Amino acid sequence: MRNLALAFGFSALLGAGFVACGDDSSASAADTLSSESSLESSSSETTKVPEPAEGTSSSVNVALSSSSAAPESSSDDDDGDDGKCTACDSYIAADPELTENGGKGSVTTYGSITAKETSLGGACNYGQTNIQYYAAIHVNVSPGDEKGPWNGGAACGGCVRVKAKTPDGWKRVTVRITDRCPDADCGVDLGGAPAADIMGNQVGRYYGEWEFVSCEGVDGVWGDSTSLWVKEGASEFWSIVQVRNPKDVVKSIAIYGVDTHDFYELEMVVGTENFWTVPEAVLKTDNRYRVVVKYRTGTDDEWKIKGSDLAVPEANLYLYEHRE
């Protein structure tokens, strides 16, 4: 892991800096400064691209370009600001600001803007993915306050529409959150492909604004079909799960008995970001259950599975294979 905290301080004083945070470990120094997240996935899965689940036809469409990366003329939400700037890559580092559904502040980059590597899962623990449009989001508003949208991993899997000021005006791109920013002045830190769409070859610290949006219908943010993934080490005595390639931020996961009247509301694991605890009673039986995932926006997803399916280490339970 390449720690560039000193480089950030120095670059901020010069008025031009590159942020390094996130999950892309193969970027070269010539492309951009980079580092790895402190919480990378320990998964050793091999990415599988099956037929897409119903309603998620874009999930296996790994786009090489953003659906909305070109300069745009001012619109109602731009308040007459055309987004044009000079020395755009030298925005002075400052604490990010929260807005009603997102924030504003530094837009930076990690990863290679030329090779455009796919996400390695970052602190969201997704493992190797085929997602090219990804980013890290800030943990804090003021240093150490943990009031940013990361929220212990609750932001994982959500999509963010980012716009940044450039010499050509506002440019926009939509990315999936797979990681968290380690530094105090990060707002959104883009992976290589979306950074290239906004910054071209002039990487650095840009002024931008962002808002959370649904991932449905967005090219480039899907690495696979939606699935429930069981963490390695699971057994009939312990198991935690996560939703991979969700439609949006996961708000809750509940388990309903089909053969019984059982009901369990899963709790998010503290300290193991982006995982939810499965009750032991479910793991020890072959009874059938409905696993219902509620998202921040959009319709729920529902799996029909046996309880013991959630006790199989590294099981990847695809939605399209486990619904009626």
Q: What is the pLDDT of residue 23?
A: 55
Q: What is the pLDDT of residue 41?
A: 36
Rounded Cα distance between 65 and 258, Å, is 43
On whether the CB atoms of residues 160 and 134 are closer than 8 A, the answer is: no
Phi and psi, residue 214, nearest 5°: -70, 150
pTM recorded for the entire structure: 0.78
Q: What is the pLDDT of residue 10?
A: 34
Q: What is the pLDDT of residue 183?
A: 75
Specify the DSSP class assigned to residue 159: E
Which has the closest alpha carbon to 137: 115, 158, 112, 113? 158
Q: What is the pLDDT of residue 204?
A: 94
Task: Specify the DSSP element, H or E, that contains 289.
Answer: strand 288-295
Q: What is the mean pLDDT of each run of 10 residues along the chain (324 residues)?
A: 34 37 41 36 36 37 36 56 96 95 96 91 96 97 94 97 98 98 89 95 96 97 97 98 98 96 96 95 97 96 98 98 90
Q: What is the pLDDT of residue 22?
A: 54
Specify the DSSP class assigned to residue 205: B
Specify the DSSP class assigned to residue 247: S
